[in-house]
Amino acid sequence: MKFTRFTLVSTLVILFSVLGLSGQEKKLNYGNTVDEQVPYGRFQKAHKNFFDDNQLFTGAGREKVPPADLTEVRIGLLGPLEGTILAPQGNQMLQGAMLAMEEANEKGGYNGIPFRILPHNDVGLWGAAANEVVKMDDEKVWAFIGTIDDINTHVALRVALKLELPMVNTGDPDPTLTETRIPWMIRCIADDRQSSYALVNYVYRQKGHSRIAVLRANNRYGRVGIMEFRDAALRDGYPLVLEIRYDDGETSFTTQIERMINSSPDAVVLWGNAKETALILLQMRKMGMKQPVYGCDRLMSPLFLEIAGKEAEGVVTTCQYNPTLDMPKLVAFNKNYEKRFGLEPDVFAAHAYDGMNIIIDAIHIAGLNRALMRDVMTDMKTFQGYPGITGEIIFDASWNDIGSIWMTEVRDGKFVFFPPPPLISEK
């Protein structure tokens, strides 16, 4: 994919229209937070908003000339490829990146030099991600994609800072990731803040629930994701009636479900991976809980439908894109991915495809120089409104994707996508 000046102008025109910037720019709240959800916004405006401006990189490196004897342009990938419960998602991420690279090579690579992807396994052990990023630097990659696990992404990012190695995150929704203000990473997938705002609005304001019990994974993904949901609900005047946890790999949830029953919720939010949440749902229904169930983006998985079966009907989740949209590039991606890999792409494959194309386009624009590639990718004009297959990618000043969030409802055994309802006024 070639990101031309014409497409840049076109997408910026669309972006301005979407954001209502015709004539006068409308300043968005940090994280695309609606006015009603700004922390402490009802009491006092902040004296200084910390994330309104980009973090500058004033170091050296832009003067380096590219090597003259290259036979391939290497790009790394750090992901959970084996030995972890996230391996299915990690391999979809790898395959989405591979497809983007293969298409780029069919178009001539970089000035006739082919691109090559160098995958590294993110095994989920503390410190392992750091070692893998160092290996990528030794392999002389120009940038890398990664990863999904929150903790390992944070570790990898700090090594990328030390090595001055551009990083594109395509799978970690932890809102704190870009708040590190490390100017060597951008993220092209919406974070849990966006998902939580949409879910809180839908659960409390649209559906009228007031007593929500939460059962979440006892890991960083569950803790940080529910933190955003809990805080957003509290700002709307609805404290959670219960928040309890389970460990990855658990199969019996009787104790947690009994506590939920005793809390008398009128709805339940599940936050974790597909397998455990499906088992929780089955056991909830078996123990007599008929309350509506809402969940995070990882429930939007064929595995969840397979395990939960008919009990999945009516479950509502969030998702960072809509794979059913009739957009030519998205339709082509879905068709080519299934033909190439024999399965439907998931959200991690789609965003990795966009992330790899961003890296490839940055190389075409800046050349083979890490610092100049960083300048291009973090420039708020060059890639703002990037036309990805997941939709228009819109970055805030921390280089976090604040683009569209979608919602799904399981109907007749399938995920049916719909946009989040607009925010309605408080009762």
Tokens (6 digits) for 24: 């006068």
Paired with 187 in beta bridges are 169
Which among 254, 224, 232, 259 is positioned nearest to 244, based on CA atoms?
Answer: 259
pLDDT tens digits along 226-262 = 999 999 999 999 999 999 999 988 999 999 999 999 9
Domain at 193-319+407-418, CATH from 3.50.50.60, 3.40.50.2300, 3.30.230.10, 3.40.50.1970? 3.40.50.2300
Supply the DSSP symbol for 155: H
Domains 73-190+326-395 and 193-319+407-418 share a fold: yes
Strands 115-121 and 316-319: unpaired
The one-letter amino acid code at 425 reads: S
Give the per-residue pLDDT at 423.
72
Other Cβ atoms less than 10 A from the Cβ of 59: the count is 10
Domain boundaries, the chain: 73-190+326-395, 193-319+407-418
79 CB burial (10 A radius; 0-12, 13-18, 19+): buried
CA distances from 225 to 209, 229, 242 (A): 20, 7, 15
Question: H helices of 84-143, where?
Answer: 87-106, 128-138
Supply the DSSP symbol for 214: E
In CATH terms, the fold of domain 73-190+326-395 is Rossmann fold (3.40.50)
Mean pLDDT, residues 413-426? 83
Give the per-residue pLDDT at 25.
52
Paired with 267 in beta bridges are 212
Is the distance from CB of 195 to CB of 318 less than 8 angstroms? yes
Which among 197, 218, 211, 202 is positioned nearest to 272, based on CA atoms?
Answer: 218
What is the pTM for the complete model shown? Answer: 0.90
| Peptide bond between residue 147 and the one before it cis (omega within 30 degrees of 0) | yes
Instruction: State yes or no: pLDDT of 6 exceeds 60.
Output: no
Mean pLDDT, residues 145-166? 94
pLDDT tens digits along 7-60 = 443 443 334 333 433 344 557 777 778 777 877 777 777 777 777 888 889 999
